[in-house]
């Protein structure tokens, strides 16, 4: 396949490019980049004027649900959703059944991704930090690393015991795997279904206090200080105070990184008053001040990456009483739209900075090689129309599940295609 | 003369006019309750289902009596625990109600928001008989009716709600309703049973009964649930009674007699001493009668509206 | 364009004389005044009942008990109305058992209000007898109801309305006939 990509704006933080360039791609490799290239008739022309070309986006926090929960999502449908959302790679969390706490499951998930997408979307498993995610015994971390895991986490659950976290940090430091913590002090959040605040008082709902997130991160930062080679990453950070702890830890040069999900810089806890269970996730929607802190954290670099925490659940599972509904919403297909609408349009991030949050930053955190947009490199690209105004239609989602609170929202910015391993979805 | 909504899901956001309409209508029904034949025909031919997912004898009986006295046909559905544990989802129960052509649903559920969910799924009028810890509007309405009867008006009346405010839907509905009607509302209880940010609802917060008693016209004493003590939120019933129990010695320190209210059932000599519960300033039994009248009024107004 | 025409059927003087005559008729037809009670149907019937009771007191020196009845709960047209009538209170502070009740209303038309009143009274107790007194009878009965005492017969067509005005409510006394007409453009 020969492609002539014309007049796209290439934004590549790895080579520092941010300019309008033409590209010639032959059989999945970038043959030529430059201004005003020409190509013969054997090339298919794709006009990318006004559109952006970036290294392939990666979502480092996704729940693919396979093996074990295929009624919610499969690796195939999850990757289709990722591709539709503009991602060429995802890191999937280990709360499957069986959990990804064994090399066979790591290999299964990784290979399934390759097989069902034919290489279009790369699936990088994040393995369980403890056996069965129970928080009691270390999982076989060396084996998991060798099989291809790119991180360790017990997500949906925190690594609750300080003693266990210390062991995980020490052991993982031998293999360079980041420990991704779902930060929640579980003894404070039992029964909670929404942020503990004025809104939860008004609605009479049991609350998940912000201090539960803050405490866990503060504790882990102290632990991290004693284990210099360990890498610690805060999953879905949501509260102002927690972000401040990360900021200070970074100033002290600790090896700590953080990600935020689009719903945490878009929606607030007042939305729960509709009792729509698509406002229920963990960490929950927080207050206006927290939302502002997330945006500022992204702006000043305290928060390195945007990751959706894509958590599919079926309609029957979600259409129940609020307190009974499972936590989580899907996010792959609205991530770019929400990010551009809330962050770029409102001047918190430039497009260049936004690209970093979805490309080189997350790849660096999970130790994946960077994608360079250069002659001779494999074409691993995301194509975005940053000006496209569109209305979210959850029925059109490629994901098997439609649990999103953004249905009918008007967003600006959408991926119009991706390219990876010789396959391009735009043609 | 209709209420602004087809449902009574709570008192938050309900206007003064609507609350006044219900209280005025309830007064007329109180007269009906004084007749030898306590039955009137306006809801004849209407079918009302009592969907009680949380066990409750008093409230259910109160509603059932109200429904039958309005000549409606009544169906009772009692389920222990949440519908999920029974296998049938709330959504399916709701669909069955629609299919059976039921006109009104009175629902009590342990999940906040269940009545709101129901009101979106069924065409019937929905009355909230208590959802989780959120609201219990008919209880607050009967409390307000009782106070209005005694004092002539709710405007400027000083009411303190005492007890486990954190878990109390009665407290929340009372706060919303009383504030709308112009009363001065305060809350009093142990810090571990007090919701954070409750001051933002416009109430003053006290942790000692002695601090609020001299400045209040009525005390609405909430029942302390034994499960709360078991979950460690306060150390013992004895301690609760000593410091937060409403007793004659504490109440006698007020300059004027204080009206004593309780939603029932009373843990005698825990949150409220027996002599006060049965004393001359207790309106607890009036509350029960008014509960009948208020529920008849609510069902009547919703049931005859378009 | 709709135009309402009002014709006065009876003025204040006529009302006074009619109520006077009705009071005398009541006394004449009910030998045992001990057993009589007036029940005024809210709202104008109530005031009419009080006026009658006062006149009877002047004529016979007897205090006749007066009750007021709100029939809203017994209406047969409660459902499907765009504007729900406000529920008012019923006040009958005496025992109606074995009494001869005189139902008092301003206008008798289809008879449905009287039917509702009869049902309400039956739920309140068991009177020995119920009689009906109205100030104006405009015909067009839809139920087999007949007034025992009529102030004035006012034959009407269906497009007309008979309105009784009473000082206590309307500031003046009178009976007017209201006609809604299509005014040719």
Would residue A9 count as lying in a domain? Answer: yes
pLDDT computed for residue B83 by the predictor: 47
Rounded to a whole number of angstroms, the distance from the CA of C117 to the nearest CA of chain B is 12
How many angstroms separate the CA of residue B253 from the nearest CA in chain A? 32
Query: Which residues in chain A touch residue B112, judged by CB atoms under 8 angstroms apart?
Result: 203-205, 275, 322-323
Range of the domain at A316: 56-365
Q: Which residues of A touch B (CB under 8 A)?
A: 196-198, 200-206, 275, 316, 319-324
Where is A247: in which H helix or E strand? helix A240-251
Q: What percent of chain A has pLDDT over 90?
A: 96
Contact B39 C70 (CB under 8 A): no
Cα separations in angstroms, A341 against A176, A262, A404:
35, 10, 17
Are A201 and A325 members of one domain?
yes
State whether C87 and B28 contact (CB < 8 Å).
Answer: yes
Same domain assignment for residues B86 and B45: yes
What distance lies between CA A234 and its chain's CA centroid?
12
CA-nearest residue of chain C to B1?
C84
Q: What CATH number does residue B253 fall under?
A: 3.40.50.1370
Residues A35 and A83 in one domain: no
Residues B266 and B154 in one domain: yes
What is the per-residue pLDDT for B82?
Answer: 45
Are residues B91 and A320 in contact, defined by beta-carbon separation less than 8 angstroms? yes
At C56, list the tokens.
């009877």
Predicted complex ipTM exceeds 0.95: no
Chains that touch C (3 or more CB pairs under 8 A): B
Q: Which residues lie below 8 Å from residue A195, measured CB to CB, with a gap of 6+?
A: A207, A208, A210, A269, A284, A285, A286, A287
Nearest to B2 among C84, C88, C90 (CB): C84
B115 and B183: one domain?
A: no
**Number of domains comprising chain B:** 2
**B91 and chain A in contact, CB less than 8 A:** yes
A138 and A269 part of one domain:
yes
Kindly state the helix (H) or strand (E) to which residue B69 belongs, with its residue range.
Answer: helix B57-69
- Give the per-residue pLDDT at C185: 46
Nearest CA in chain B to C80: B306
| Residues A106 and A146 both lie in one domain | yes
Domain membership of residue B8 (yes or no) is no
**A205 contacts on B by Cβ (under 8 Å):** 112, 132-134
Q: Is residue A332 a part of any domain in this protein?
A: yes
What is the reported pLDDT for B56?
82
**Interface contact flag, A204 B169, Cβ < 8 Å:** yes
CA dihedral A356, A358, A359, A363 (to 10 degrees): 110
Which pLDDT tens digits describe chain C residue by residue (185 residues)? 666 788 888 899 999 999 999 999 999 998 888 899 999 998 899 999 999 999 999 998 989 999 999 998 898 887 766 677 778 889 999 999 999 999 999 999 999 999 999 999 988 889 999 999 999 999 999 999 999 999 999 988 888 999 999 999 898 899 999 887 665 54
- For residue B231, the chain A residue with the least C-alpha distance is A190
In a domain, A420, yes or no: yes
Answer positive or negative: Cα dihedral of A275, A281, A285, A291: negative
Residues B193 and B234 grouped into a single domain: yes
B212/B296 same-domain check: no
Contacts of residue A183, defined as CB under 8 A and 6 or more positions apart, other chains included, come to: A158, A213, A216, A217, A220, A234, A235, A237, A242, A283
Q: How many domains does chain A have?
A: 2
Question: Do B161 and B104 belong together in one domain?
Answer: no
The pair of structure tokens assigned to C21 is: 């005559």
Which chain C residues touch B24 with a CB distance below 8 Å?
Answer: 86-87
User: Is A370 inside a domain boundary?
Assistant: no
Domain shared by A292 and A414, yes or no: no
Q: Which domains does chain C have, with CATH numbers?
A: 13-75+87-156 (3.40.50.2020)
Tell me: do A76 and A184 sit in the same domain.
yes
Q: Which chains touch A (3 or more CB pairs under 8 A)?
A: B
Cβ contact C–A (≥3 pairs, < 8 Å): no
Do residues A82 and A209 share a domain? Answer: yes
Could you tell me whether strands C174-182 and C2-10 are parallel, antiparallel, or unpaired per DSSP bridges?
A: antiparallel
Q: 3-class DSSP state for residue A124? A: strand
Same domain, A119 and A267: yes
8 Å CB contact of C82 and B25? no
The token pair at A115 is 């097989």
Distance to chain B for A346, nearest Cα, Å: 30
A103 and A203 both lie in a single domain: yes
**Any domain includes B106:** yes
Contact status, residue A130 vs residue A136, Cβ threshold 8 Å: yes
Query: Does residue B2 sit within a domain?
Result: no
Provide the total of helices (H) and of strands (E) in chain B, helices listed first: 13, 9
B5 in a domain, yes or no? Answer: no
Q: Which of A59, A154, A155, A309 is catalytic?
A: A309
Q: Which two tokens stand for residue A404?
A: 């999103």
Identify whether A333 is part of a domain: yes
Q: How many CB pairs under 8 A join A and B?
A: 63
Task: Give yes or no: residues B23 and B104 share one domain.
Answer: yes
Q: Check residue B222 and give its pLDDT.
A: 96
Q: Which of B221, B243, B242, B117 is nearest to B165 (CA)?
A: B221
Q: Report which secondary-structure segment, H or E, holds B220.
A: strand B218-221
Q: In B, what residues contact C, Cβ < 8 A?
A: 1-2, 24-25, 27-28, 31-32, 35-37, 39-42, 300-301, 304-306
Q: Give per-residue burial for A362-389: e unless 16+ CB within 10 Å, then b.
A: bbbbbebeebbbeeebbbbbbbbbbebe
Same domain membership, residue B180 and residue B109: no
Indicate whether A19 belongs to any domain. yes
Is residue A275 located within the same domain as residue A129?
yes
Q: What is the CATH number of the domain that holds A19?
A: 2.30.40.10
Return d(Cα A152, Cα B177) in angstroms, integer: 51
Mark yes or no for CB contact A201/B195 under 8 Å.
yes
Q: Report if residue B73 sits inside a domain.
A: yes
Chain B contact set for A198 (CB, 8 A): 197, 200
- Indicate whether A175 and A301 sit together in one domain: yes
Q: Are residues B149 and B251 in the same domain?
A: yes
Is A155 considered catalytic here? Answer: no
Kindly state whether residues A31 and A155 are assigned to the same domain. no
Please answer yes or no on whether B40 and C78 come within 8 Å at the CB atom: no
The pLDDT of residue C2 is 66
Average pLDDT of chain A to the nearest whole number: 96
Owner of token pair 């959990």 = A99
Measured between CB atoms, which of A201, A320, A322 is closest to B196?
A: A201
Task: Provide, as residue numbers in chain A, all residues whose Cβ is less than 8 Å from the Cβ of B135.
Answer: 204
Report residue C35 as tokens: 């057993």
Taking contacts as CB-CB distances below 8 angstroms, the residues of chain A near B117 are: 275, 321-322
How close is the nearest chain B Cα to the Cα of C96, in Å?
Answer: 11
Model pLDDT for residues A326-385, shown as the tens digit of each residue: 999 999 999 999 999 999 999 999 999 999 999 999 999 999 999 999 999 999 999 999
Same domain (yes/no): B125, B157: no
B63 in the same domain as B159: no
pLDDT bracket for residue A253 (50, 70, 90): very high
Question: Do B157 and B258 share a structural domain?
Answer: yes
Asked if residue A203 is part of any domain, the answer here is yes
Residues on chain C touching B37 (C-beta within 8 angstroms)? 123-124
Tell me if residue A3 falls in helix, strand or coil: strand
Asked whether residue A186 is assigned to any structural domain, the reply reads: yes
B147 vs chain C: nearest CA distance in angstroms? Answer: 20
- Given a cut of 70, the residues of chain B with pLDDT beneath it are 1-2, 79-88, 228-230, 306
Give the pair of three-digit tokens for residue C81. Answer: 């109305």
Which residues span the domain enclosing B236?
A: 137-287
CATH number assigned to the domain comprising residue A103: 3.20.20.140
B133 → chain A, closest CA residue: A204
Is B108 among the domain residues? yes
């Amino acid at each position: 396949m020969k492609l002539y990509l014309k007049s796209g704006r290439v934004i590549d933080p790895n080579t520092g490019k941010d300019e309008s360039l033409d590209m010639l791609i032959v059989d999945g490799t970038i043959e030529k980049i430059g201004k005003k290239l020409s190509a013969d008739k054997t090339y298919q022309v794709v006009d990318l004027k006004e559109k952006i070309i970036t290294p392939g986006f990666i979502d480092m926090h996704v729940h693919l649900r396979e093996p074990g929960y295929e009624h919610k999502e499969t690796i195939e449908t999850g990757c289709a959703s990722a591709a539709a959302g503009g991602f060429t790679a995802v890191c999937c969390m280990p709360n499957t059944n069986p959990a990804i706490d064994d090399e066979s499951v790591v290999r299964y998930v990784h290979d399934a991704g390759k097989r069902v997408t034919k290489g279009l979307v790369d699936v990088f498993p994040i393995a369980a930090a403890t056996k069965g995610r129970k928080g009691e015994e270390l999982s076989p971390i060396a084996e998991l690393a060798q099989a291809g895991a790119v991180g360790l986490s017990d997500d949906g659950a925190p690594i609750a015991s300080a003693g266990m976290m210390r062991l995980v940090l020490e052991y993982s430091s031998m293999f360079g795997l980041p420990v991704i913590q779902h930060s929640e002090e579980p003894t404070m959040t039992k029964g909670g279904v929404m942020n503990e605040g004025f809104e939860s008082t008004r609605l009479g709902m049991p609350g998940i206090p912000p201090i539960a997130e803050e405490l866990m991160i503060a504790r882990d930062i102290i632990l991290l200080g004693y284990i210099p080679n360990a890498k610690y990453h805060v999953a879905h950070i949501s509260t102002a105070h927690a972000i401040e702890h990360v900021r200070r830890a970074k100033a002290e040069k600790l090896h700590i990184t953080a990600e935020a999900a689009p719903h945490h810089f878009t929606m607030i806890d007042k939305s729960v008053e509709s009792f729509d269970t698509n406002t229920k996730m963990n960490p929950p929607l927080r207050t206006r001040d927290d939302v502002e802190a997330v945006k500022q954290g992204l702006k000043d670099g305290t928060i390195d990456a945007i990751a959706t925490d894509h958590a599919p659940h079926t309609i029957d599972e979600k259409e129940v009483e609020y307190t009974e509904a499972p936590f989580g919403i899907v996010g792959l297909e609205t991530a770019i739209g929400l990010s551009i609408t809330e962050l770029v349009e409102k001047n918190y991030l430039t497009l260049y900075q936004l690209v970093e949050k979805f490309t080189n930053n997350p790849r660096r955190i999970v130790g994946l090689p960077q994608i360079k947009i250069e002659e001779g490199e494999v074409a691993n690209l995301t194509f975005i129309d940053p000006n496209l105004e569109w209305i979210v239609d959850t029925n059109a989602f490629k994901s098997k599940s439609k649990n999103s609170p953004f249905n009918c929202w008007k967003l600006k910015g959408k991926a119009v295609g991706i390219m990876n391993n010789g396959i391009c979805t735009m043609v | 003369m209709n209420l602004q909504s087809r449902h009574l899901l709570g008192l938050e956001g309900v206007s003064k006019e609507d609350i006044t309409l219900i209280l005025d209508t309830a007064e007329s029904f109180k007269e009906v309750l004084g007749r030898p034949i306590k039955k009137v025909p306006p809801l004849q031919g209407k079918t009302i289902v009592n969907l009680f997912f949380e066990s409750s004898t008093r409230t259910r009986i109160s509603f059932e009596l109200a429904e039958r006295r309005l000549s409606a046909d009544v169906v009772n559905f009692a389920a222990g625990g949440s519908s999920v544990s029974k296998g049938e989802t709330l959504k399916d129960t709701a669909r069955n109600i629609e299919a059976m052509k039921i006109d009104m649903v009175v629902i009590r559920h342990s999940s906040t928001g269940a009545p709101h969910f129901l009101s979106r799924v069924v065409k019937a009028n929905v009355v909230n008989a208590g959802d989780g810890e959120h609201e219990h509007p008919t209880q607050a309405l009967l409390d307000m009716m009782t106070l209005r009867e005694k004092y002539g008006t709710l405007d400027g009346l000083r009411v303190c709600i005492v007890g486990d405010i954190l878990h109390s839907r009665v407290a929340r509905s009372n706060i919303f309703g009383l504030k709308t009607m112009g009363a001065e509302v305060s809350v009093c209880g142990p810090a571990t049973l007090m919701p954070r940010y409750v001051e933002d609802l416009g109430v003053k917060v006290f942790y000692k009964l002695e601090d609020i008693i001299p400045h209040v016209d009525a005390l609405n004493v909430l029942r302390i649930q034994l499960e709360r003590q078991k979950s460690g939120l306060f150390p013992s019933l004895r301690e609760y009674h000593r410091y937060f129990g409403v007793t004659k010695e504490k109440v006698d320190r007020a300059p004027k007699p204080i009206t004593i209210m309780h939603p029932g059932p009373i843990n005698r000599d825990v949150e409220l001493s027996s002599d006060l519960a049965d004393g001359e300033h207790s309106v607890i039994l009036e509350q029960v009668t008014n509960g009948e009248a208020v529920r008849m009024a609510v069902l009547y107004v919703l049931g005859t509206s378009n | 364009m709709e135009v309402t025409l009002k014709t006065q059927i009876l003025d204040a003087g006529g009302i006074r004389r009619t109520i006077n005559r009705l009071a005398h008729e009541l006394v004449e037809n009910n030998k045992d005044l001990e057993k009589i009670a007036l029940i005024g149907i809210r709202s104008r019937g109530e005031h009419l009942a009080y006026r009658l009771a006062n006149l009877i007191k002047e004529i016979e020196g007897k205090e006749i008990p007066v009750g007021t009845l709100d029939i809203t709960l017994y209406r047969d047209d409660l459902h499907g109305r765009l504007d729900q009538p406000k529920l008012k209170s019923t006040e009958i502070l005496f025992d109606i058992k074995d009494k001869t009740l005189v139902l008092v209303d301003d206008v008798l038309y289809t008879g449905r209000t009287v039917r509702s009143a009869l049902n309400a009274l039956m739920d309140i107790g068991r009177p020995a007898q119920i009689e009906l007194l109205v100030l104006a009878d405009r015909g067009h009965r839809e139920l087999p109801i007949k007034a025992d005492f009529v102030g004035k017969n006012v034959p009407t067509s269906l497009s007309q309305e008979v309105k009784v005005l009473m000082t206590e409510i309307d500031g003046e006394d009178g009976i007017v006939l209201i006609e809604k007409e299509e005014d040719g453009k």
